[in-house]
């Protein structure tokens, strides 16, 4: 069951602060006492006896912001000039745009790019359709498809409201691996409707990424599209998340000396993410998987995929490793933690149990979802599949991606930084190699 949580907000306060020792310290102390999480602080301008500073804050809500404003208003030598919303600012006008890769400065350019020269390329592709990957952008393009039924932790808010997420995915594709990704919004919540739309436009793209589509429809949509299309189709909420969880578990196993193939892994919440994790763990060689979900169809699906059902207490009692993806903060009672257990409580923004609490109850290792981000997986997965001209994603490709991610983590990190381009290159190479092996 998904529980909607109030989203934390980011605001930038532009403050006029008296330019004397101690005043900035007073501001920081007040903000800390008010529960505001301080980020970047920068100087915008300076006057004869004051400094204009911008302070980035993470806050719990709009009410929290109003309380901070009231507190600052009572502080001598400090004046609020304005309050900026950096998230809205970066989204104004959208985050993506289609740009030309070739110059258009002369009539000669025009003739080569468009008419009459382009007819030559059309004829080549007419004779051999595989040349479309060489002479068009199809071979380096991905459709990011949603119907808006499971957007982040917000639920069924509609396809258009999900567009900022799809644009964000497109930015990551382009910046991390150079793929041209195009958001596709489908105004249909039925399996047949989504499948028909995607099939009708699929020839435009080299691969299809399904995004934020609710379970159980997401399973049928992915299965139907992969059966009928000659290009890779992947539901990121299932498989991207599963890849990164497996990468984290590979490194956790080393730290805790657990052998994954012999461990019993319990999965709490068997929606898209939980089901994807269960499937990939089975493919990796984990023999014992038990699961819990309040939905009967989800439990039945687990059994079809080789897992066993249990209730929450039974799962906690019998699992060496627990992975929770329910969206229900505080679901796991601390008293259910077994000494030596590994706990991954992955729901954001608030986990099923806080890692510190789990550790205090005897867990050998505990983490939440802040670092388990599927953006570590999907750019390299698709880049590798496109380079290999693969027709589908295989379990071998997914496990290869997880192993590559795990190998890139250094020190005490479970997984590496999302912004490390070497990680995505390593994933791409591993996925491409796995397709041919």
- Pairwise CA distance, residues 4 & 325, whole Å: 14
Q: Are strands 78-84 and 9-18 parallel, antiparallel or unpaired?
A: antiparallel
CA dist 186 and 198 (Å) reads: 9
Q: What is the DSSP letter of 162?
A: T
DSSP string, 59-102: ES-HHHHHHHHHHHHTSTTEEEEEEE-HHHHHHTT-S-----SS
Q: How far apart are CA 258 and CA 5, in angstroms?
A: 34
Alpha-carbon distances, residue 98 vs 167, 180, 379 (angstroms): 12, 9, 19
Is residue 85 within 8 A of residue 11, CB to CB? The reply is yes
Question: What values do phi and psi take at 401, rounded to 5?
Answer: -65, -45
User: ω before 362 within 30° of 0 (cis)?
Assistant: no
Residue 54 backbone dihedrals phi, psi, to 5 degrees: -110, 130
Q: Residue 25, SS3?
A: helix
- Active-site residues, by number, are 114, 169
* Token couple for 310: 């249990």
d(CA 395, CA 375): 18
For residue 155, the 8-state DSSP code is: B
Q: How far apart are CA 213 and CA 150, in angstroms?
A: 5
Distance CA 113, CA 103 (A): 9
Place of tokens 């019998």: 318
Place of tokens 């435009």: 204
User: Helices marked H in 128-190 — which ranges?
Assistant: 132-135, 163-177
Q: ∠352-238-368 over CA atoms, to 5°?
A: 25
CA dihedral 31→35→40→43, nearest 10 degrees, is -10
Give one word for 306, left, alpha or beta, with left for phi > 0 and alpha for psi -120 to 50. left
DSSP lists the bridge partners of residue 130 as none
């Amino acid at each position: 069951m998904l529980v909607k949580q109030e989203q934390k907000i980011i605001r930038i306060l532009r403050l006029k602060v008296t330019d004397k020792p101690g005043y900035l310290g007073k501001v920081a102390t007040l903000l800390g006492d008010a529960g505001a999480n301080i980020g970047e602080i920068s100087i915008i301008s300076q006057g004869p006896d004051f400094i204009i500073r911008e302070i980035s804050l993470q806050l719990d809500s709009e009410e929290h912001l109003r309380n901070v404003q009231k507190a600052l208003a009572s502080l001598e030598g400090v004046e609020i000039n304005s309050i900026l919303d950096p998230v809205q600012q970066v989204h104004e006008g959208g985050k993506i745009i289609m740009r030309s890769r070739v110059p258009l400065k002369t009539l000669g350019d025009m003739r080569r790019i468009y008419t009459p020269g382009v007819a030559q390329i059309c004829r080549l592709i007419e004779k051999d359709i595989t040349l479309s990957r060489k002479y068009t952008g199809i071979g380096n393009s991905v459709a990011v498809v949603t119907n808006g039924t499971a957007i982040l932790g917000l639920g069924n808010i509609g396809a258009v409201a999900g567009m900022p997420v799809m644009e964000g995915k497109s930015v990551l594709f382009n910046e991390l691996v150079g793929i041209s990704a195009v958001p596709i919004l489908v105004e249909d919540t039925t399996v047949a409707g989504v499948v028909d739309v995607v099939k009708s436009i699929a020839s435009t793209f080299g691969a299809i990424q399904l995004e934020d589509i609710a379970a159980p429809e997401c399973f049928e949509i992915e299965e139907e599209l992969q059966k009928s299309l000659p290009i890779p189709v992947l539901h990121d909420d299932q498989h991207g998340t599963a890849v990164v969880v497996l990468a984290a578990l590979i490194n956790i196993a080393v730290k805790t000396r657990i052998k994954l193939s012999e461990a019993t892994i319990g999965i709490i919440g068997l929606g898209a993410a939980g089901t994807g994790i269960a499937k990939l763990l089975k493919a990796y060689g984990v023999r014992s998987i038990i699961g819990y979900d309040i939905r009967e169809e989800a439990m039945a699906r687990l059994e079809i995929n080789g897992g066993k059902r249990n209730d929450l207490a039974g799962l906690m009692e019998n699992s060496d490793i627990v992975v929770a993806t329910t969206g229900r903060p505080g679901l796991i009672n601390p008293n259910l933690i077994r000494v030596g257990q590994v706990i991954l409580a992955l729901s954001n923004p608030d986990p099923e149990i806080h890692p510190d609490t789990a550790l205090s109850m005897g867990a050998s290792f505990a983490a939440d979802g802040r670092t388990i981000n599927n953006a570590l997986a999907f750019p390299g997965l698709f880049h590798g599949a496109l380079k290999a001209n693969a027709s589908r994603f295989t379990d071998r490709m997914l496990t290869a991606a997880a192993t590559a991610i795990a190998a890139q983590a250094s020190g005490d990190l479970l997984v590496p930084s999302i912004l490390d381009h070497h990680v995505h290159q390593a994933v791409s190479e591993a996925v491409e190699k796995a397709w041919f092996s």
